[in-house]
Amino acid sequence: MKKSKGNITGIEYFIVHACVETICFYLLRLHYPLMLAGAIAFTYDFFAFLPQGLIGKFIESHKKLPYETIGNVLMMASIVMVASPVYKLHVAGYIVLGIGNAIMHECGAIATVTESKGKIFPSALFVSGGGVGIVIGQTMGVAQVSWLWLIIPAVLSEVCALAARKSVRKGTYPAFDVVEKKFSPWTILIVAFVVTAVRSYLGYAIPISWNKELWQTIFLFGIMGLGKALGGYFVDRIGARKTAIFSTLAAIPFLVFGDKLMVVSVIGVFFFSMTMSITFAMCLSILKYSPGLAFGVTTAALFIGLVPAFFVRFNLLTNAILIVIFSIVCCLLLSKTLKK
């Protein structure tokens, strides 16, 4: 891959994203080493995902504020609050953590789109960095490593974000055009929202009983990140529609029959993860002058999709049926709305 400005910005925000998620998932595991506490996780997800569109729109309209530094300062403040022995500070700390996360995500989305020259790969590369941070953060949190180590990713995040600072503030964005023009903008946005929400839900519903060892978790999230990055690469090379149809249908048998077979399952996860960049490109095709809002549509959908996971659990057979039905529905929706 040629080292264009867009790819360099994608790498910079890949690192930022990895650092941000390292901090977030360390803190989410810090007081709950066996599992994420439902109320805490839900509160954090609410503030990390839902307000991103509004934050992105504000960043695009008010370019002089140091958003990167504000986001990283909030991350640092949340570290102190959550690591504090004062229990009452913890919930407030997770709210601050979620808002800081949202700001850094929006800076990454705007910066990578700005420098992309109409390619989705830089943004896909940026998003794929989250899997690296999730693995590092959870590992540190479970091992009860001192919270002082989080100073390193916090500083690294600030350095890399400042390196891409000008990209957030340019205010000129390339055109994306991956959708059929015969559909109304609202139809395209609704389809992108639904497909993203389904992908978010299935991410929790995928039956993976083999994931018991730390190295398996690392491998799983590594495959997810690789799928997201290569999804963007293939969208730029062969088109969004071909990538969408192939990845959604190819994933089905591997996800359904890979519960106890790691090699089979991760192939499905890889294909499944490739759709991330497609729905973002759809939103960019409609919200041409607001990549921050476009990214916020997808993150709001991610939150809506994961809500059922907090309240409902299905058995293996039900999950398999849902995977098949939802994947086929998403494939049909994307095949109709994406440009041929």
pLDDT band at 201 (very low <50, low <70, confident <90, very high): confident
Residues 45 and 164 in one domain: yes
CB-CB contact of 243 with 278 (8 Å): yes
- pLDDT at 207 (0 to 100): 67
CATH number of the domain that 300 lies in? 1.20.1250.20
- CATH number of the domain encompassing residue 88: 1.20.1250
Domain termination site, one of 169, 202, 218: 169
Same domain, 164 and 189: no
* Of residues 20 and 211, more confidently modeled: 20
- Cα 255 from Cα 272, distance rounded (Å): 9
Is pLDDT above 60 for 36? no
Max mean pLDDT range (76-90, 95-109, 257-271): 95-109
155 and 92 together in one domain: yes
Same domain, 143 and 260: no
- Do 206 and 107 fall within a single domain? no
| Count of structural domains, the chain | 2
DSSP track, 184-203: -HHHHHHHHHHHHHHHHHHH
Same domain for 162 and 191? no
**174 found inside a domain:** no
Residues 84 and 31 in one domain: yes
The closest of 327, 325, 212, 226 to 259, measured between CA atoms, is: 212
List the single range of 98-107, 136-145, 156-165 with lowest mean pLDDT.
136-145
278 Cβ contact list (under 8 Å, min separation 6): 178, 195, 231, 235, 240, 243, 244, 334, 338
pLDDT surpassing 90 at residue 121: yes
Q: Please state the φ and ψ torsions of residue 175, each to the nearest 5 degrees.
A: -85, 140
Computed over every residue of the chain, the mean pLDDT equals: 90
Q: What are the distances in angstroms from CA 245 to CA 9, 211, 328, 337?
A: 29, 28, 9, 12
142, 240: one domain: no
CA distance 108 to 14: 8
> What value does the CA radius of gyration of the chain take, rounded to a whole number of Å?
19
- Judged by phi (left if over 0) then psi (alpha if -120 to 50, else beta), residue 66 lies in beta
- Backbone torsion region of residue 213, taken as left when φ is above 0, otherwise alpha when ψ lies between -120 and 50, otherwise beta: beta
**Are 155 and 9 contained in the same domain?**
yes
DSSP 15-50: HHHHHHHHHHHHHHHHS-SSS--HHHHHHHHHHHHT
Domain-ending residue, one of 137, 169, 201: 169
What separation, in Å, do the N-terminal and C-terminal C-alpha atoms of the chain show?
25
Q: Provide mean pLDDT across the span 273-278.
A: 90
* Residue 152 to residue 146: CA distance in whole angstroms: 12
User: Residue 255's pLDDT band (boundaries 50, 70, 90)?
Assistant: confident
CA dihedral 147, 149, 153, 156 (to 10 degrees): 140
d(CA 330, CA 338): 12
Domain final residue, candidates 135, 169, 203: 169
* Distance in angstroms (rounded) separating the CA atoms of residues 196 and 207: 19
Cα separation of 193 and 197, whole Å? Answer: 6
Is residue 124 situated within a structural domain? yes
The answer to whether position 176 is within a domain reads no
Report if residue 177 sits inside a domain: no
Higher per-residue confidence, 67 vs 222: 67
Assigned domain for 313 exists: yes
Highest-scoring range by mean pLDDT, 156-165, 208-217, 244-253: 156-165
Query: 20 and 117: one domain?
Result: yes
Amino acid at 109: A
| 179 lies in some domain | no
Tokens of 153: 């990713």
19-23, 138-142, 202-206: which has the minimum mean pLDDT?
Answer: 202-206
Q: How far apart are CA 169 and CA 303, in angstroms?
A: 27
Mean pLDDT of 294-302: 96
Q: What are the φ and ψ backbone dihedral angles of 172, each rounded to 5 degrees? A: -120, 130
139 and 203 part of one domain: no
Are residues 34 and 147 in contact, defined by beta-carbon separation less than 8 angstroms?
A: no
Per the CB < 8 A criterion, the answer to whether 258 and 216 are in contact is no
C-alpha 322/C-alpha 226 separation (Å) is 25
Burial of 317 (0-12, 13-18, 19+ CB in 10 A): exposed
Residue 123 within a domain: yes
Q: What is the domain range of residue 153? A: 5-169
Helices (H) and strands (E) in the chain, counts: 15, 0
Spatial distance between the Cα atoms of 190 and 125, rounded to a whole number of angstroms: 25
